[in-house]
Amino acid sequence: MLRSLPVTDVRAVGSRDRLRAQTWLRGLLLPGVLLIGWEILSRLGFFPPNLLPPPSAVLSTLWELALSGALFQHIGITLYRVAVGFVLGTAIATIFGAITGYSPFLHDFLDPLLQSLRNIPSLAWVPLFILWLGIDETSKIALIAVGVFFPVYLNLMSGIQTVDRKLVEVGKAYRLSDFQLIQRVFLPATLPAYLVGLRGGLGLGWMFVVAAEIMGSSQGLGFLLVDGQTTGRPTVILASIFLFAIFGKLTDSTLAAAGQRFLNWQDSYHSQSY
């Protein structure tokens, strides 16, 4: 027999849905106003169409690419590269961040090298990865993984190092094992910083995919961006930028929403505001 939800639960769910819809509407307000203003100013001749075409022209270009089927191929291969690079970079960063954050010896041994590598620009890795891995998918995914690695590593390591020492001492006083100490003290305390690192890594993954798709690629949004530049088509360039912004925001919002489910125990200012 199906049971109906209590009235208070129904009201709570409805209230959360309304707040979520209001949040999305507030977020769409400013971009919508900017796009409308851009369209109007372009129609009035303030922006030269060969340099900054109106949004309607960009949408028309996207529609043409969608009808030809090329748009979905470019989107699909870019999403694949970002997803695989993100998973690979996150996995490696989690291991290194955990051991360097937990062990002072390993931190002193590994962190100086990793911090030096963190400051190397993304394009500087391109010729080296081409030399080592060729121009196929391996080199592109490796470059994206490098971009994802450092924000995740840095946030996780810092989160572990800044865990309240008193909490650790209380756990040891209760004779918790190392595994129990990690599970009950370190994991909840570092999870917020880790999730911030994941979002930062995902953002850099979207940035690094452009550099990755310069490496002999014939598909992808990065290739579409460069192709628009070489052929002198600003509508294609702007269409690629729009797609990067849209999919970057969608993936970030998905990751943030998933992370929020793990942090619903927090009595934070943000949770009270919304």
Domain CATH number, residue 145:
1.10.3720.10
Does residue 253 fall inside a structural domain?
yes
Structure token digits, residue 248: 């970057």
Whether 218 has a pLDDT exceeding 90, the answer reads: no
Whether 211 has a pLDDT exceeding 80, the answer reads: yes
Asked if 274 and 19 touch (Cβ cutoff 8 Å), the reply is yes
- Averaged pLDDT for residues 251-258: 90
Percent of residues, the chain, with pLDDT higher than 70 = 88
Q: Which domain holds residue 102?
A: 58-262
Does residue 9 fall inside a structural domain?
no
Its pTM stands at 0.85
Does residue 26 fall inside a structural domain?
no
Does residue 145 fall inside a structural domain?
yes
Does residue 133 fall inside a structural domain?
yes
- Give the model's confidence band at 16: pLDDT under 50 very low, under 70 low, under 90 confident, else very high: low
Structure token digits, residue 70: 């090329």
Per the structure, the count of domains in the chain is 1
Q: What number of other Cβ atoms are within 10 A of residue 9's Cβ? A: 10
CA 150 – CA 64 distance, rounded (Å): 38
- Give the model's confidence band at 1: pLDDT under 50 very low, under 70 low, under 90 confident, else very high: very low
User: Which residue, 191, 184, 183, is CA-closest to 155?
Assistant: 191
Does residue 135 fall inside a structural domain?
yes
Q: Which long-range contacts (CB under 8 A, 24 or more apart) does 73-77 make?
A: 73/219, 74/219, 74/220, 74/221, 74/223, 74/224, 75/221, 75/243, 75/247, 77/219, 77/220
Does residue 21 fall inside a structural domain?
no
Q: How far is CA 97 from CA 59, 157, 242, 251, 264, in A?
A: 43, 5, 33, 23, 24
